[in-house]
C-alpha cells in the first residue's frame, strides 16, 4: 500500500494534466466514486497498488513516477496508429464494417453491416472488434467522410479518445455516433464534436456501449 504525501501531489498533478477529476478516475477503474477523492482529502490513508496501476494507465504516467520511485514524469502519450502504417489490406481475419448514413442527423449512422474488412493484428485477440465508416463532417479535420475507424471494445475510453457510441432512444431505434470522449458523469457520457465545436451528453439509460477507436484508415 502507498501512503506518502508525494503520491498525493503527483496524483493531483496527473489528474489536472489529464483534465479529469478524482471521481471520474475512480469510476473509470470500477471503484467507488469517492475512492481517490477521499484519499486526496486525507479521509483515507492509502490506495491499493492495483488501483494505482490502473489509474497510472488512464492518466498516461508511469506507476514508478506516480508512487515516487522515479523522477521521470509523464509517459509518452499514446499515438493513434493509422492504417497506412500498419498495412491494413494485408490482414487476414475479417471483421464487420458498419455504416450507412442516417438521414437528417449529422455524423450519425445506423449499425447496419455493410461489408467485412481486414482486422488489424493487435485486434485479432480482442472479442468482437469492428469497424465503422465515418459519416458527415462533424469530426473534421480529424476524421473525414468515408474514413474507416477500427474499434477496440475491450478497452475503456479515456478523455480525448475518439469513441463510437451506440445509443438507443425511446423508440428503440439504435444509432451510432463518432465523437471525442470527455467524461462520464452521473447524468451520462459527455462527448464532443469538432466541426462546429459542440458538447453533448447522452443519458446513461440511452447508452448501449462506448468503445474507443484504435486505428484510423484514411
Q: What is the pLDDT of residues 8-20, one digit of tens each?
A: 889 998 898 888 8
> 29 and 124: one domain?
no
87 CB contacts (<8 Å, ≥6 apart)? none
Which of 66, 96, 112 corresponds to the end of one domain?
66
Domain count, the chain: 2
Task: Tell me the pairing of strands 130-133 and 94-101.
Answer: parallel
> 142 and 44: one domain?
no
Tell me whether residue 78 is in a domain: no
Tell me whether residue 74 is in a domain: no
> 103 and 139: one domain?
yes
Q: How far apart are CA 204 and CA 107, in angstroms?
A: 20
pLDDT at 61 over 90: no
> 44 and 108: one domain?
no
pLDDT at 104 over 60: no
- Could you tell me what percent of the chain has a pLDDT over 70? 85
SS3 content of the chain, % helix, strand, coil (to 5): 25, 35, 40
The CATH number covering residue 138 comes to: 2.10.109.10
Confidence at residue 77, expressed as pLDDT on a 0 to 100 scale? 42
Confidence of residue 2 (pLDDT cuts 50, 70, 90): very low
The rounded mean pLDDT for the chain is 83
pLDDT at 71 over 60: no
Tell me whether residue 93 is in a domain: yes
In which domain, by residue range, is 149 found?
A: 83-217
Separation in Å, CA 17 to CA 11, 13, 80, 100, 142? 10, 6, 19, 38, 22
> 59 and 161: one domain?
no
> 95 and 202: one domain?
yes
Residue 80 is placed in which grid cell? 493513434
pLDDT at 1 over 70: no
pTM: 0.61
The CATH number covering residue 48 comes to: 1.10.260.40
- pLDDT tens track for 22-58: 888 888 887 888 889 999 998 888 888 878 888 888 8
> 111 and 153: one domain?
yes
- Compute the chain's Rg from CA coordinates: 19
pLDDT at 103 over 80: no
pLDDT at 210 over 90: yes
> 91 and 193: one domain?
yes
Instruction: State phi, psi for 187 to the nearest 5 degrees.
Output: -75, -35
- pLDDT tens track for 178-204: 999 999 888 899 999 999 999 999 999
Tell me whether residue 75 is in a domain: no
Confidence at residue 167, expressed as pLDDT on a 0 to 100 scale? 93
Contact at 8 Å (CB) between 194 and 180?
A: yes
Amino acid at each position: 500500500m502507498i501512503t506518502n504525501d508525494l503520491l498525493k501531489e503527483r496524483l493531483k498533478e496527473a489528474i489536472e494534466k489529464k483534465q479529469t477529476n478524482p471521481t471520474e478516475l475512480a469510476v473509470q477503474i470500477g471503484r467507488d466514486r469517492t475512492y481517490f477523492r477521499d484519499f486526496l482529502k486525507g479521509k483515507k490513508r492509502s490506495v491499493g497498488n492495483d488501483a494505482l496501476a490502473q489509474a497510472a494507465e488512464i492518466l498516461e504516467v508511469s506507476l514508478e513516477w506516480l508512487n515516487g520511485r522515479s523522477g521521470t514524469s509523464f509517459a509518452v502519450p499514446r499515438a493513434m496508429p493509422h492504417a497506412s502504417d500498419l498495412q491494413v489490406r494485408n490482414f487476414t481475419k475479417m471483421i464487420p464494417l458498419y455504416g450507412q448514413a442516417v438521414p437528417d442527423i449529422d455524423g450519425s449512422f445506423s449499425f447496419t453491416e455493410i461489408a467485412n474488412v481486414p482486422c488489424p493484428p493487435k485486434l485479432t485477440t480482442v472479442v468482437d472488434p469492428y469497424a465503422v465508416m465515418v459519416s458527415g463532417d462533424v469530426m473534421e479535420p480529424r476524421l473525414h467522410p468515408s474514413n474507416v475507424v477500427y474499434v477496440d471494445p475491450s478497452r475503456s475510453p479515456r478523455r480525448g479518445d475518439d469513441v463510437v457510441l451506440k445509443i438507443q432512444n425511446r423508440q428503440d431505434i439504435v444509432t451510432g455516433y463518432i465523437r471525442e470522449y470527455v467524461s462520464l458523469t452521473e447524468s451520462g457520457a459527455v462527448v464532443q464534436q469538432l466541426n462546429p465545436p459542440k458538447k453533448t451528453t447522452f443519458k446513461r439509460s440511452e447508452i448501449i456501449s462506448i468503445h474507443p477507436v484504435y486505428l484510423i484508415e484514411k
